[in-house]
A and B are shown apart, each in its own frame.
Chain A
Amino acid sequence: MSIPFVDRHIGIDADARQLMLDALGYASLDALMDAAVPTAIRQSAPLRSLPAPATEAEALAELRALAAHNRVRRSMIGQGYYGTVTPAVIQRNVLENPSWYTAYTPYQPEISQGRLEALLNFQTMVSELAGLHTANASMLDEATAVVEGMLLARRASGSTSNVFLVDSDIFAQTRAVLDGRAEAVGLELQYLPLAETDPAELPEAFGVFVQYPAASGRVWDPSAVIARVKERGGLAIVAADLLALTLITSPGELGADVAVGTTQRFGVPMGFGGPHAGYLAVREGLERQMPGRLVGVSKDADGRPAYRLTLQTREQHIRRDKATSNICTAQVLLAVMASMFGVYHGPDGLRRIAEGVHAQAAGFAARLHAAGIEVAHADFFDTLEVRVPGRAAEIVETARERDLLLWQVDSDTVRFSFDEVTAASGIGFSRAADGLAADLAAVFGLSDGFGVSLTPHLPEGLRRASEYMTHPVFHVHRSETAMMRYLKRLADRDYALDRGMIPLGSCTMKLNAATEMAAVTWPEFSGLHPFAPLDDVQGSLVMIGHLETWLAELTGYDAVSLQPNAGSQGELAGLLAIRGYHRSRGDVHRTVCLIPSSAHGTNAASAVLAGMRVVVIATTETGDVDLADLRAKIAEHRDELAALMITYPSTHGVYEHEVMEVTAAVHEAGGQVYIDGANLNALLGYARYGDIGGDVSHLNLHKTFCIPHGGGGPGVGPVAAKAHLAEFLPGHPLAQMHLHPPFDHSTGHVGTVEHRGAPVSAAPYGSASILPISWAYARMMGAQGLTDATANAVLAANYVALRLRDHYPVLYAGENGLVAHECILDLRPLKEATGIGNDDVAKRLMDYGFHAPTMSFPVAGTLMIEPTESEDLAELERFIQAMIAIRLEADAVAAGEWPADDNPLVNAPHTAESVIAGEWQHAYSRELAVYPSSGDRTAKYWPPVRRVDQAYGDRNLVCACPPISAFA
């Protein structure tokens, strides 16, 4: 008998549980949960859809069976997703390595230097390929990056025009996403065949968007169009293929203000649509207009260069409804992979790959031409558009019979793209019986294969002359040994879940089990093109159907879309559904979104992007929605009320008693209720959003359902809704199934709900390749296991609160003095009494071998702790002891034992060098500096840098790799 997975997932064992319950004064977990969760919201209906829990082996076997229903053919579909060879050294040492995939967003820079360096490499690579000054790290996908580009243009342009010009030769998914997002915020899109339009005839616009190379594969020079639009105050956004940019003139050199795109083909599998890292780069002067996260170089307390996230104030945490974007969780793990692809291959390697791809395309174009078959464009990089009057469907079908996927544009036209995989298959290098070459030739009725052509089909004036990726980091890691060691060196600098607990409140840093992760890299899941034919993707659709069904039941909703790529996108999708619903009923004036002041910043930022106006409602002392203020605001905005957005349990980690009254008041006024599901880990199995008045919610599968945080993404932010909103959930023009839950071949069951809203992601099912993680978690836990996880998470948080209460006041508590799954420690009294602030405590925790809790959210000057169910009692104790010891250190400062400006807290964290090199001239010992606790000294984690100077980095913006000499 194998041990049930639930006992592997939950860290607290039976003995520990008893001890913790005794300390809290409850006889059982049930008694604790009865006391903590308000009776009025407790769910009554039993959960039926989840089958009895599977063992790890059984879950893997079932996943294998699902995988067997996917068929990975050789994809030449292209259209934004290309075959790529993930270097094995990157797959094993990054994608499959918990040191990379279990880290959190690098908010604590001192213990995140490894991935910050990897991301700085990413920014450097992207900005140099794009020929622009600064790139961010990262966007969620190409289509949403285009939207961000458009919104950036609107902010930065002086033009009063409301028009955004768009070339008509762009990817269908980009167009669909752009259409929906522009409509929501009232911007007017004007589609024109820009390559054929006289620039002088262009209407005035605040911006223009061109895809380069275009969707049809064509490479043309947009610089005259760009110049004309800029002349009249508009900005130019170019979506560029990074691989193509190794051969063609960069967007920056063409005059673009912003370049966007995806880095998928830099070693990240297609994965049935995602996750992949999008990118966005801007010219100098637009840095403060950028959405998303940006890594910069600053210095530490010893004056050494140190990396950190820079210009954080642009983001929603601070600027809320005035933020540059709602994007929060991004695609760090995938950006790291793409960055390492660049590091491993270097500029020459990338160019060679591109040349191989281009030579194949050119060779086949020549062969088609010789056979009298028309290739639409004379200039292309990797994609051929071919005219086959009346025969497109037949050709695509013939190809499919030969295991080759092409793309049908219309009945007369097909498109297909060559890529690193086709290039590596040897096609073109031998005219002989190479499979792919022979198959492709046969599909077009050609008698033999074809060779490469070394005649470039790129416009004379667009051959790239400028250099890129000149920094040594892109030149010294060519051997696998060097690459492996570089990845290890970086990983060693970082603190991830494989070292110890990461008690970040609102983040749910629970176990990401190895069995859950296993299927992510199986070719049946990782190798699918997102637009592959329905028959080829049955296994994934069945899994998606399971997840939609399970998540709907677990949350009390009727319909679920897995399309959003992060919580922020789920919020946007949910609010757009509310908007669609109101408008369908003629309620076009319902645009006010009520948001409590304690809400997460993404809520307000998403509301603005959904075309709503944010009205803030007050929260009470205890963090609850202030009912009186809510009623007043509802009365004031009664006719314009679109929605209320609340988080449950509240962002303060408290089960609000009045939640039903709150939701009822909104409904009574004709508004809809959005419940932010980021804190679902406190509720699953005990209460359901749909039962407490929610109309729609997003969930964070990267919190509650074990998708690892990846150091700042990927995420999956499904949106779940009641039946009346279901048709407004995000659809997709290229989805294999428009009905939800999708077809289940085993039961023959087809869902009946069609999602008809505009897509919020480039791919129909978002980040489909990581869904096996959440599937496996739910499958191995079963309904009871998920419920147990919730109870143990609540137990852990209350135990920590109890043990730390005498040392730091716990800011809020609900019924019976209990918190939910997280607790807030108020550090402001400590600061008053000792001068030691939450910053000092957070940094000193690093010396003790911990990642700090969430700082100053939702209340400034506090620390929010979420231990999760996965930590065992020993680790909880280690954390509690560290926090108590730090409190005593602060008291010693207050007592004058150490000077206020020279003590182990304000000087934290301490590097090895700081205690070894030079004279030791501090008021406390070296030993206390670095070995403050009695734990195992051989297990010591050494922070690689001292405290990072935040102000210096924001004042002196450097967002690309500094020269090696800077580290001397």
Chain B
Amino acid sequence: MSAVPADLQYTAEHEWVRLEGDVATVGITQYAADALGDVVYVDLPKVGAALAAGSIVGEVESTKSVGELYAPLDGEVVEANSAVVDAPETINSDPYGEGWLVKVRVSSTPALLSADEYRALIGE
């Protein structure tokens, strides 16, 4: 059973979004982190990069697999988590906290999934 915090929004690509004002913090869900296994490398978009919802903007790589990072919404990257680049295992240990990936200044938000909807998606 993986954690799906109720206060976050989700995407079908197993990412979570925390919207605070017009800035969204984005990460991957615990379900995704568990499925990937030991994360060894992350490639994040640069600060200032313009994101278009649904496009591939980065990669999360484990010893046995590679997951693509999709932009969950339109906007501009205002911060990329350099700590997670240096210590990718944080994504496994704290996916919803220290393991966040990017902060985005949002220009428009497509419909995201609620925690309940995401839980249903992963069959839990």
Task: Check B62 for interface membership: any CB of A closer than 8 A.
Answer: yes
- A312: chain B residues within 8 A (beta carbon): 63-64
Of B41, B63, B88, which one neighbours A288 at CB under 8 angstroms?
Answer: B41
Please determine whether B65 and A318 come into contact, CB atoms closer than 8 angstroms: yes
Q: CA–CA, A950 to B62, complex, Å? A: 10
Task: Check A951 for interface membership: any CB of B closer than 8 A.
Answer: yes
- In the complex, the chain A residue whose C-beta lies closest to that of B63 is A950
Q: CA–CA, A320 to B63, complex, Å? A: 16
Q: Name the distance in Å between B35's Cβ and chain A's nearest Cβ.
A: 11
Please determine whether B41 and A951 come into contact, CB atoms closer than 8 angstroms: no
Task: Check B15 for interface membership: any CB of A closer than 8 A.
Answer: no
- B38: chain A residues within 8 A (beta carbon): 950-951, 954
Please determine whether A318 and B40 come into contact, CB atoms closer than 8 angstroms: no
Task: Check B61 for interface membership: any CB of A closer than 8 A.
Answer: yes
Chain B interface residue count, CB cutoff 8 Å, equals 11
Task: Check A955 for interface membership: any CB of B closer than 8 A.
Answer: yes
Q: CA–CA, A420 to B85, complex, Å? A: 48
Please determine whether A954 and B63 come into contact, CB atoms closer than 8 angstroms: yes
Task: Check B66 for interface membership: any CB of A closer than 8 A.
Answer: yes
Task: Check B76 for interface membership: any CB of A closer than 8 A.
Answer: no
Of B64, B66, B88, which one neighbours A955 at CB under 8 angstroms?
Answer: B88
- B66: chain A residues within 8 A (beta carbon): 313, 318-319
Q: Name the distance in Å between B29's Cβ and chain A's nearest Cβ.
A: 20
- In the complex, the chain A residue whose C-beta lies closest to that of B61 is A313
- In the complex, the chain B residue whose C-beta lies closest to that of A860 is B64
- B88: chain A residues within 8 A (beta carbon): 955
Please determine whether A954 and B65 come into contact, CB atoms closer than 8 angstroms: no
- A313: chain B residues within 8 A (beta carbon): 61-66
Q: Name the distance in Å between B105's Cβ and chain A's nearest Cβ.
A: 24
A-contacting residues, B2-44, CB 8 Å: 38, 40-41
- A950: chain B residues within 8 A (beta carbon): 38, 63-64
Q: CA–CA, A871 to B37, complex, Å? A: 36
Q: CA–CA, A669 to B89, complex, Å? A: 49
Choose among B62, B64, B65, B66 the residue with the greatest number of A CB atoms under 10 Å from its CB.
B64
- A319: chain B residues within 8 A (beta carbon): 66
- In the complex, the chain A residue whose C-beta lies closest to that of B38 is A951
B-contacting residues, A797-826, CB 8 Å: none
Q: CA–CA, A293 to B51, complex, Å? A: 33
Please determine whether A955 and B89 come into contact, CB atoms closer than 8 angstroms: yes
Please determine whether B65 and A951 come into contact, CB atoms closer than 8 angstroms: no
B-contacting residues, A289-344, CB 8 Å: 312-313, 318-319
Q: CA–CA, A313 to B59, complex, Å? A: 12
- A288: chain B residues within 8 A (beta carbon): 41
Q: Name the distance in Å between B85's Cβ and chain A's nearest Cβ.
A: 11
- A955: chain B residues within 8 A (beta carbon): 40-41, 88-89
Q: CA–CA, A954 to B88, complex, Å? A: 11
Q: Contact flags (1/0) for B40-77 with A, using CB distance below 8 Å? A: 11000000000000000000011111100000000000
Q: CA–CA, A154 to B36, complex, Å? A: 28
Q: CA–CA, A312 to B64, complex, Å? A: 8
Q: Name the distance in Å between A309's Cβ and chain B's nearest Cβ.
A: 11
- In the complex, the chain A residue whose C-beta lies closest to that of B39 is A951
- A856: chain B residues within 8 A (beta carbon): 64
Please determine whether A951 and B89 come into contact, CB atoms closer than 8 angstroms: yes
A-contacting residues, B81-124, CB 8 Å: 88-89
- B89: chain A residues within 8 A (beta carbon): 951, 955
- In the complex, the chain A residue whose C-beta lies closest to that of B88 is A955
Q: Name the distance in Å between A352's Cβ and chain B's nearest Cβ.
A: 42
- B40: chain A residues within 8 A (beta carbon): 951, 954-955
Q: CA–CA, A312 to B62, complex, Å? A: 10
Q: CA–CA, A817 to B101, complex, Å? A: 49
- A318: chain B residues within 8 A (beta carbon): 64-66
Q: CA–CA, A313 to B63, complex, Å? A: 7
- B62: chain A residues within 8 A (beta carbon): 313, 951
Q: CA–CA, A856 to B64, complex, Å? A: 10
Q: CA–CA, A312 to B41, complex, Å? A: 12
Q: Name the distance in Å between B60's Cβ and chain A's nearest Cβ.
A: 11
Q: CA–CA, A951 to B65, complex, Å? A: 12
Q: CA–CA, A249 to B41, complex, Å? A: 34
- B63: chain A residues within 8 A (beta carbon): 312-313, 950-951, 954
B-contacting residues, A828-866, CB 8 Å: 856
- B41: chain A residues within 8 A (beta carbon): 288, 954-955
- In the complex, the chain B residue whose C-beta lies closest to that of A288 is B41
Q: Name the distance in Å between B70's Cβ and chain A's nearest Cβ.
A: 15
B-contacting residues, A79-99, CB 8 Å: none
Q: Name the distance in Å between B67's Cβ and chain A's nearest Cβ.
A: 10
Q: Name the distance in Å between A858's Cβ and chain B's nearest Cβ.
A: 15
Q: CA–CA, A307 to B62, complex, Å? A: 18
- A954: chain B residues within 8 A (beta carbon): 38, 40-41, 61, 63
Q: CA–CA, A955 to B66, complex, Å? A: 14
Q: CA–CA, A313 to B66, complex, Å? A: 7
Choose among B38, B40, B62 the residue with the greatest number of A CB atoms under 10 Å from its CB.
B40
Q: CA–CA, A954 to B63, complex, Å? A: 7
Q: Name the distance in Å between A952's Cβ and chain B's nearest Cβ.
A: 9
Q: List 5 A-B contacts (CB under 8 A).
A: A288-B41, A318-B64, A951-B62, A951-B89, A955-B89
**11 additional A-B residue pairs with CB within 8 Å, beyond A313-B63, A313-B65:** A288-B41, A318-B64, A319-B66, A950-B64, A951-B38, A951-B40, A951-B62, A954-B40, A954-B41, A954-B63, A955-B40
Residues of chain B at the chain A interface (Cβ within 8 Å) = 38, 40-41, 61-66, 88-89
Closest 10 A/B residue pairs (Cβ): A954-B40, A951-B38, A950-B63, A955-B40, A313-B66, A951-B63, A313-B61, A951-B40, A954-B63, A318-B66
